[in-house]
Structure 1
Amino acid sequence: MNRRLKIASAQTPGGSEMVLYQHDCDFSIQINGQDLMHSRQNESEQELARLGCAHLADINSPSILIGGLGMGYTLRKALDMLSPNAQVVVSELMDDVVEWNREHLGKLNKQPLEDKRVELITGDIVELISGSRNRFDAILIDIDNGSSAMTDSGNSRLYSHKGIYACRLALRKQGCLAVWSAEASKKFEQVMMNCNFNVRRFRVPAYKGSKSRSRFVWVASENKSILPPGGGEPRLPFKKESKGNRRPPRRR
């Protein structure tokens, strides 16, 4: 068995060290010694595309945005699902991640960045979304570790009320927002619902064949009827009425 090799490293905007490793045919990326992603654990990334693009099966020229390139699994699955006339914008903050995909990781997914339907944009995804009104049929978000930032604390802007509301404005009328996360978050669910989204929560496996569903994907849309079937339906917490606002009991 070959030992694990350090292939490349980079510094995140938050000052952390991001390292790309290879072990035989497998790759992994770590942040300050903690696993961020692994090529064997790609099922939840593919589920993000399956769930977020399920409503686009019969759309001739859909436009979608993928936030976070990762190892290219979400992009590959989306390309396989979408029509030849689709437009897929990929937003990735770090140039190093793009370089790693072109030089090392692309072979995992048949070089998805070379697909003619793909437009790659490097930089701040919040600015991209904020400048895109009524542009996308789907927005797939896999930034950092979900709503709890691991790579860059600045990513928390995307998961705030302002960031999610900007996603809503960037979607077309029948559009869907799908968000990947390593953990559950009732607080984030409430943010999405407070932005007038209908929301479904799906528990998905990290890798194919796993009986444990340890990852989460939320799918949200203004149109409840186009959400994929299954999943859980989060609800806003019930707010008790204050004594001063209580209505008097009806007379009988």
Structure 2
Amino acid sequence: MIPWVQLDSAKTPDGGQELRLKRRGAEFSIMLGTNELMNSRLSGSEEALARLSCERIAGRKQPKILIGGVGMGFTLRAALAQLPDDAGVVVAELVPAVVAWARGPMAEIFGGSLDDPRVTIRETDVGHIIHSGISTWDAILLDVDNGPEGIVHKGNDALYGAAGLGAARAALKPGGVLSVWSQGPDNGFTRRLKQAGFSVDEVTARAHGKRGARHVIWIATNGK
């Protein structure tokens, strides 16, 4: 079996943990300690995050999309495949090294999506962007942790609490959607979404084909 090779590492924003980019043949993995955050062979649920979100806002003129987390580009590529030519997509990434990995060792996976004229990359906290706009976004897609809690960056906890969800709802246009990816279910988060005023659908998506792990995607619609 081909062994894993570590290509690079980067500290998390709080400096307390380390992200590691690893490669085995054509396969990539991003690790946080012993926890695998993402793998290039497992893209199904990230693509579903984009597909389900774009379906909800289909037909809108000049849709504006905010994606939290560059990851391995699966969500971005799936969104671009469905969005019209006049769309605008902002991708927020808190760890600059992840953007460098996307443009460097993993460039083939990204397939030029970072250079799509519809795309803007911002190396900043997605929460800052959310708080800076009112009725700005047609969709906000969050895949910045393994679920609705701050694993990579504890500051991300603020995205999933009452105040963060209230800010997200305010940042969305009427009928806009907040979509959140998770490794598994979280009944408390479903309840907080509803308490924040969203209409909520909780969808299960496979990580890979029909046999991959079952991940959860919340599609929360702003009814204001």
TM-score higher than 0.5: yes
CA contact (8 A) 1:199 1:220 kept: yes
C-alpha distance in structure 2 between counterparts of 1:72 and 1:106, whole Å: 10
Structure with larger Rg: 1
Matched residue of 1:219: which SS?
A: strand
Q: Partner residue of 2:64?
A: 63
Residues 1:10 and 2:13 are matched in the alignment:
no
SS for the counterpart of 1:53 is helix
> Partners of 1:97 and 1:155 in 2: how far apart?
17
CA distance in 2, matches of 1:50, 1:168: 20
Number of the residue aligned with 1:82: 83
- Using the alignment, how far apart are the partners of 1:133 and 1:222 within structure 2? 13
In the other structure, the counterpart of 1:53 is 54
What's the counterpart of residue 105 of structure 1?
106
Number of the residue aligned with 2:217: 217
Amino acid at match of 2:39: H
User: Per the alignment, in what secondary structure is the counterpart of residue 158 of structure 1?
Assistant: helix
C-alpha deviation, 1:213, in angstroms? 5.1
Counterpart in the other structure of 2:170 = 169
By how many angstroms is 1:125 displaced?
A: 1.4
Q: List alignment gaps of at least 5 residues for structure 1.
A: 225-252
Q: Deviations over 1:71-116 (max 9, x none)?
A: 1100000000000110001011010000000002231131211101
Check conservation: 2:182, 2:216, Cα contact below 8 A. Answer: yes
What is the rounded CA distance, in whole Å, between the counterparts of 1:217 and 1:183 in structure 2? 9
Partner in structure 1 of residue 74 of structure 2: 73
Contact 1:164 1:195 in 2 (8 A): yes
Partners in 1 of 2:69 and 2:86 — Cα distance? 22
The reply on whether 1:19 has 2:20 as its aligned counterpart is yes
Change (3 A) 1:136 1:189: same
C-alpha offsets along residues 123-164 of structure 1, whole Å, 9 cap, x if unaligned? 121111011111111111111111132212111011111111
Q: Deviations over 1:158-205 (max 9, x none)?
A: 111111111100100121111001111111111110111000000110
Check the 8 A contact 1:106/1:112 in 2, yes or no.
Answer: no
Deviation per CA, 1:227-251, whole angstroms, max 9, x where unpaired? xxxxxxxxxxxxxxxxxxxxxxxxx
SS of the aligned residue for 1:155 comes to helix
Per the alignment, residue 138 of structure 2 pairs with 137
What pairs up with 1:110-189 in 2 under 5 angstroms?
A: 110-189=111-190
For residue 7 of structure 1, give the secondary structure of its aligned residue in structure 2: strand
2:223 is aligned with what amino acid? N
The ranges of structure 1 where at least 4 consecutive aligned residues each deviate by more than 3 angstroms after the TM superposition are none
Alignment-mate amino acid for residue 38 of structure 1: N
Distance in 2 of aligned mates of 1:121 and 1:70? 13
Report if the CA contact (8 A) 1:59-1:83 is conserved: no
Distance 1:106 1:132 in 2: 31
| SS of 2:170 mapped into structure 1 | helix
Q: What TM-score results when the alignment is normalised by the length of structure 2?
A: 0.95
Q: Percent of pairs identical after alignment? A: 37
Aligned pair count reads 223
The code of the aligned residue for 1:220 comes to A
Q: Measure, in 2, the Cα distance between the counterparts of 1:202 and 1:133.
A: 27
Q: Which runs of 5+ in 2 are unaligned?
A: none
Contact 2:180 2:217 in 1 (8 A): yes
Greater share of residues in strand? 2
Contact 2:65 2:90 in 1 (8 A): yes
Query: Contact 2:19–2:32 at 8 Å: present in 1 too?
Result: yes
Deviation at 1:208, TM superposition (A): 2.2
